[in-house]
Amino acid sequence: MQITENIQRLKKSVPSHVGIIAVSKTIPEDDILEAYHCGHRLFGENRVQELTRKHANLPHDIEWHMIGHLQSNKVKYIAPFIAMIHSVDNLNLLTAINHEALKNNRTIRCLLQIKIAREESKYGLSLEGANKFLSDPEFALLKNIKISGLMGMATFTQDTTLIRSEFRHLASCFRQIKADHFRQDNDFCELSMGMSGDYTIALEEGATLLRIGTLIFGSRT
Ligand SMILES: *Cc1c(COP(=O)(O)O)cnc(C)c1O
C-alpha cells in the first residue's frame, strides 16, 4: 500500500494541470500494477527492451513515456504504442521516429532534450543546436511527429541555487523556441523537468511534466 500512499501524497502537492510520470525503470510489474490500480496511468521507462516487455504484460490503457537515450535502430520496437519520447536530441533520431510512426499510421509526440546540466555525461542539445535543428529543411518534411515541448535534467547536486538556475534556463529556452518556431502551435506546451529530488523547484520554474521514480516506488537497489 506504500506506493498508493506515495502517489496520493504526491498528487496533493502537485497542481492538477501538471502531469506526473511515474518512472518505473527496474521496478517489477506487480509494483507498477499497484500504482495502476490506484488510478495512475502515466509511466516512464528508459530502456527499450524493458519498456516493450512491460507494455506487453501490463494493461493497455497505460500511457508509456520514453525518457532515456534512444537509438534510431530501436525506435521500431516502441513506435506502435509509445505516447511520448522525451529524449530527442538529433535529427537522425527524429527522422527514424517519423518513419516508424508513419508505418504505424500514427503521430508520435516528442520533446527536444536540452542539455542544462554542468555534468559532461548528460545528453541533449544546446539552445543554438535546437534552433538549427528546427530550421533544417529536413525537419519541415516530418509529418508524423509532433514536437510538444522540451525536456531537461538538472545537475545531480545539493546546490538548489544551481538546480534552479538550470531549470530557469530551460524555461527560457522554451519561451524562445516557442516564439521562434511554434508561435501558432498550441501543441508545443510541455516542459518536462523535475525528478524526486528537485521537483518542487521544477514546479516553481514552470514544469508541466514531472518524472518521478524514487518518491513513488522507493529507491532502486
Ligand atoms: C530515473 C530517471 C528519473 C527519475 O528519477 P528519480 O530520482 O528516481 O525520481 C527521471 N528522469 C530520467 C530521465 C530518469 O532516467
Q: Give me the helices (H) in the chain, please.
A: 2-12, 29-37, 48-57, 75-78, 91-103, 127-135, 137-140, 160-181, 199-204, 214-217
Question: How far is residue 214's CA from residue 75's CA, in Å, rounded to a whole number?
Answer: 27
**Is the CB of residue 116 below 6 angstroms from any atom belonging to ligand 1?**
no
Least confident of 48-52, 56-60, 118-122: 118-122
Q: What is the largest CA-CA distance in the chain?
A: 51
Distance, in Å, from the CA atom of 98 to the CA atom of 143, rounded to the nearest integer, reads 7
* CATH code assigned at 111: 3.20.20.10
**Residue 1: is its pLDDT beyond 80?**
no
C-alpha cell at 49: 527492451
Domain holding 130, by residue range, is 2-217
Kindly report which listed range (10-19, 111-120, 154-163) carries the lowest average pLDDT score. 111-120
CA of 22 to the centre of ligand 1 (A): 9
Ligand 1 pocket, 214 CB below 6 A?
A: yes
pLDDT in tens, 63-109: 999 999 999 999 999 999 999 999 999 999 999 999 999 999 999 99
Calculate how far, in angstroms, residue 184's C-alpha sits from the geometric centre of ligand 1: 32
Cα(98) to centroid of ligand 1, in Å? 26
**Which of 7, 26, 31, 67 most suits a substitution to test ligand 1, by most atoms within 8 Å of the C-beta?**
67
CB atoms within 10 A of CB 78: 21
User: 134 CA distance to ligand 1 centroid (A)?
Assistant: 27
Per-residue pLDDT, 121: 63
What does the alpha-carbon distance between residue 146 and residue 111 come to, in Å, rounded to a whole number? Answer: 8
Q: Please give the distance, rounded to the nearest whole angstrom, from the Cα atom of residue 118 to the centre of ligand 1.
A: 17
Atom index in ligand 1 nearest the CA of residue 151 equals 13
Q: If 0-12 CB within 10 Å is exposed, 13-18 middle and 19+ buried, where does residue 33 land?
A: middle
The answer to whether residue 41 scores a pLDDT higher than 80 is: yes
Task: Please say if the pLDDT value at position 122 is more than 70.
Answer: no
Rounded to 5°, angle at Cα 155 from 150 and 158: 130
> What pLDDT score does 220 carry?
87
- Encode pLDDT of 8-38 as tens digits: 999 999 999 999 999 999 999 999 999 999 9
**111 CB less than 6 Å from ligand 1?**
no
What's the domain count of the chain? 1
DSSP bridge partners of 211: 21
Q: Which atom, in ligand 1's list, is nearest to the CA of 68?
A: 13
Mean pLDDT over 184-193 rounds to: 97
pLDDT at 55 over 90: yes
Find the mean pLDDT for residues 199-212.
98
Judge contact between 213 and 195, C-beta under 8 A: yes
pLDDT band at 123 (very low <50, low <70, confident <90, very high): confident
Q: Contact 201/162 with Cβ under 8 angstroms?
A: no
Residue 50 has pLDDT above 90, yes or no: yes
pTM, two decimal places: 0.97
Q: Pull the grid cell for residue 164.
A: 534552479
